[in-house]
Amino acid sequence: MKIYINGRVTNEQEAMVSVYDHGFLYGIGLFETFRTYDGQPFLLEKHRARLQAGCEQLGIAYQTEAGQWEQIVQSLLHANELRNAYIRFTVTAGQEALGLPVGSYAEPSVIVYIKSLPPRNEQQDRYGKSLQLLQLPRNTPEGPVRLKSLHFMNNILAKRELQQYPWADGAEGLLVDGQGRIAEGIVNNVFYVKHGRLYTPSLATGILPGITRAFVISLAEAAGVYVEEGLYDWSTIREADEVFITNSIQEIVPITKLFDPTGQQTTMSNGIIGDLTGRLLRLYRQRTIAVI
């Protein structure tokens, strides 16, 4: 594939960053992932704004001009002959002396990756996926709000734990915070439905303020659905009528089976997509079609 790095599109094999880049040395950097629909990026400005705000917190001097992200996306789609694609914008701190910095990062590196997306999984839309409760707790954010940073070790360890459960093949993993409250998935946010109302863990649990999470909340509220952000435990999820997860690539994924670390199973919505989940998924798809 061809990727973008510091102002140019090049073959991925030729792209290089310095071994003194503090993204490599200390994990100082941020990224955003989103997808395109027939050549049009979805919620691009929301992703750009979140990354920009994170760079300001980290002292990374990264500024973008109006339309710059759109131009980069279009150049990569054209270079790779794609229309529907996964896009990852990464901004690293850039090259600095070995040791912790004493000031701001003046010359960040910008790398944008792209890859093709698989066809939509119609079976998953109808029958959903499984969600596995993990024993590994979600680490607390390094700062006041969790950033989508290059420091991903907690997520990687969670993925390794998920692979240890033989019954959880193809499942998503669910993390709780240090107090045992439901937090988020390894790469997604979680919602549940009870008596027609929609619930999702509060940002107070230290979760990432997901772009798709916020979009789904706005969709639900616009459709007249009551939405609550709060503190919930595993038993609350198990007693829910419906459960689903969200992220920018997978959109809305219904959850029809829950597993705890002992392998105990709970079946949701009789094993098929729930009514409100289906309604929100249709609304989401309508909005993505509208951007094309």
Average pLDDT over residues 86-111: 95
User: b/e map of 79-90 (b: 16 or more CB within 10 Å)?
Assistant: beebebbbbebb
pLDDT tens profile 229-281: 999 999 999 999 999 999 999 999 999 999 999 999 999 888 889 999 999 99
Q: Identify each DSSP E strand in the chain by its residue range.
A: 2-5, 8-11, 29-37, 40-41, 85-92, 109-116, 129-137, 172-176, 182-185, 189-194, 197-201, 227-230, 242-247, 251-259, 265-267
pTM above 0.85, yes or no: yes
Mean pLDDT for the chain?
95
Would you state the pLDDT for residue 48?
96
Instruction: Report pLDDT digits (tens) over 146-188.
Output: 999 999 999 999 999 999 999 999 999 999 999 999 999 999 9
User: Which residue matches tokens 């310095």?
Assistant: 18
- 26-40, 56-70, 199-213, range with the lowest pLDDT: 56-70
Q: Say if residue 292's pLDDT is above 80.
A: no
Q: Which two tokens stand for residue 119?
A: 């066809």
